[in-house]
Structure 1
Amino acid sequence: MRVALVQLAAATDTDANTSAIRRLTKGVEADLVVLPEAVMHDFGDPSLPLGPVAQPLDGPFVATLAELARSAGAVVVAGMFERSDDPDRPYNTLVAVGHDGAVLATYRKAHLYDSFGYRESDRLRTGDPVPAVFAVDGVRLGLLTCYDLRFPEQGRALVDAGADTFVIPAAWVRGPLKEDHWQTLLRARAIENTVYVAAAAQTGRAYCGLSQLVDPLGVVVAALGDDEGRLVAELDPERIAAARERNPALRHRRAWPTPP
């Protein structure tokens, strides 16, 4: 499977973001294209309300993803703000669109970024903790968003639901040790679950970039720095099986009691 990771700095202008997506995916040859979190419309200043810019899943942004998927012959995953029944707080949602333009899966971010002095929950609604897993050419992809990376139990839930690759769109905020956390946690989730990790992150003044594909033994197959761009790398399903034979940690798991 050929995986394309697209890295850019999204703006608070949906039309400008759509143009950037088209420019950065022009001529892409891949089976899976992964775009960052909030690539439809960036978070912007913490005082900026996100409700007015949110869209439904049958709105123009998902239609753009469907157009891209059909023209590229690829599955496309991207992050957007999805309307909820609270007009002030939409969902932070990932959408996976198939080769034919149909929506394959959606995932509403379950862990909102109320950390490092920021409160995502003031502006967005929390999604239900339900594993989102879907298949592409025999590879089962599980969806996580950015801050979800810090919760290993979500990775376990995805593996238990059949995932052998994690797809992680992100807008990972720059800061002291943050870039190190990002890279360490991507490799940790890959190693402990013997999965590929395909992570596409925003870059720019606010975010760290460093998009990368990590294999099931924690080897970084390909990576970007902090410039805008895209990479295309191979994901080999046979390597997943070989890694799980060499490191059968998932088979060795034990059930631990829950503290009272």
Structure 2
Amino acid sequence: MEKIAIAQTTSSGNWSENLRKAEQFIKRAKAEKAKMIVFPEYFMNYYPDADHKYIEKAQTLHGDFVSQMKVFAKEYKMWIIFGMNEKTVDETKNYNTMAVINENGQLIAHYHKTHLFNAYKWQESRDTIEGNRFFEPVQTPIGMLGLGVCYDLRFPEAARYEALKGTQVMIYPSAWVKGENKFIQWESLLRARAIENEMYVLGCCHYSEKHYMGRSTGFGPDGDRLYQGVEREELLFAAIDLEQIKIVRKANPVFENRRRDLYEW
């Protein structure tokens, strides 16, 4: 059984400040013997920022922010996952990117958010380029890891694709916007993705007074809740026991019972 830390944080528009916060949370996660820490969507730079310079603040995957996160990962022997706005060739738009760094300080994977939040009066596509492929799962100390970002959660195809690729722990770093019934939707969708794929599904939600609700939560392969955050910054933890996946899938072999002849994949 391994422990993963969920950093429910509030970012600022200053990436240097967010680096300092990252180290504080990483130190706390290390003290609790977590093997991995997850930071939310928009961690490097808060979105939407007050000075309207979000696009200008973008960095590459070789920039100062990622480079320092690599140093933290190596120093604290911690896997780190975090959201950032990645610079593109289009000076008017960024990628909404998740970076995955291993305990040796190596950037081993990244993911460009595929489903952009053009809903509830938001138009993420105005300043973000959509990704064109799902995340390919990677092996980590807590199991085979899959990734989606926020609005991706509403599209079950992404989680099923990754489950069929061997994912055991699916993580959704998010900035889930506050609103009527939004927590019910967040909770229900995370639990559904866990139950229907019989894997761990963990949400890490940005918190801010103005936009994002926090209230991170996650579920085991049988739908049991693992942790529950409130509306504030906090560090949460989930225990991952891969044997539980085997037990659940033996009792209810949904992947064996799938009508593959009726699906494209």
Q: What is the TM-score normalised by the length of structure 1? A: 0.94
Q: Distance in 2 between matches of 1:143 and 1:214?
A: 15
- Whether the aligned pair in 2 keeps the contact of 1:35 and 1:200 (CA below 8 Å) is yes
Q: Which residue of 1 aligns with 2:226?
A: 221
Q: Which residue of 1 aligns with 2:250?
A: 245
Match of 1:168 among 147, 163, 172: 172
Structure 1 segment 119-158 matched on structure 2, within 5 A: 119-137=123-141, 139-158=143-162
Superposition deviation, residue 60 in structure 1: 1.1
Q: Which residue of 1 aligns with 2:191?
A: 187
Structure 2: runs of 5+ lacking an equivalent: none
Q: Which residue of 1 aligns with 2:4?
A: 3
Q: Which residue of 1 aligns with 2:21?
A: 20
Instruction: Provide the identity percentage.
Output: 31
Q: Which residue of 2 aligns with 1:210?
A: 215
Question: Which ranges of 4 or more aligned residues in structure 1 deviate by more than 6 Å?
Answer: none
Q: Distance in 2 between matches of 1:197 and 1:249?
A: 17
Letter in 2 for 1:230: L
Superposition deviation, residue 229 in structure 1: 1.1
Q: Distance in 1 between matches of 2:140 and 2:106?
A: 13
- Whether the aligned pair in 1 keeps the contact of 2:136 and 2:162 (CA below 8 Å) is yes
After superposition, the Cα gap between the structure-2 partners of 1:228 and 1:138, relative to the gap in structure 1 and judged at 3 Å, is: closer
Q: Distance in 2 between matches of 1:46 and 1:28?
A: 30
Letter in 1 for 2:84: M
Q: Which residue of 2 aligns with 1:177?
A: 181
Q: Which residue of 1 aligns with 2:241?
A: 236
* 1:100 aligns to 2:101 (yes or no): no
Q: Which residue of 2 aligns with 1:42?
A: 46
Q: Distance in 2 between matches of 1:233 and 1:147?
A: 22
- Whether the aligned pair in 2 keeps the contact of 1:69 and 1:75 (CA below 8 Å) is yes
After superposition, the Cα gap between the structure-2 partners of 1:138 and 1:19, relative to the gap in structure 1 and judged at 3 Å, is: closer
- Whether the aligned pair in 2 keeps the contact of 1:201 and 1:211 (CA below 8 Å) is yes
Structure 1: runs of 5+ lacking an equivalent: none
Q: Distance in 2 between matches of 1:155 and 1:46?
A: 34
Match of 2:85 among 75, 81, 84: 81
Q: What is the TM-score normalised by the length of structure 2? A: 0.93
- Whether the aligned pair in 2 keeps the contact of 1:5 and 1:231 (CA below 8 Å) is yes
> How many residue pairs align between the two structures?
258
- Whether the aligned pair in 2 keeps the contact of 1:131 and 1:161 (CA below 8 Å) is no
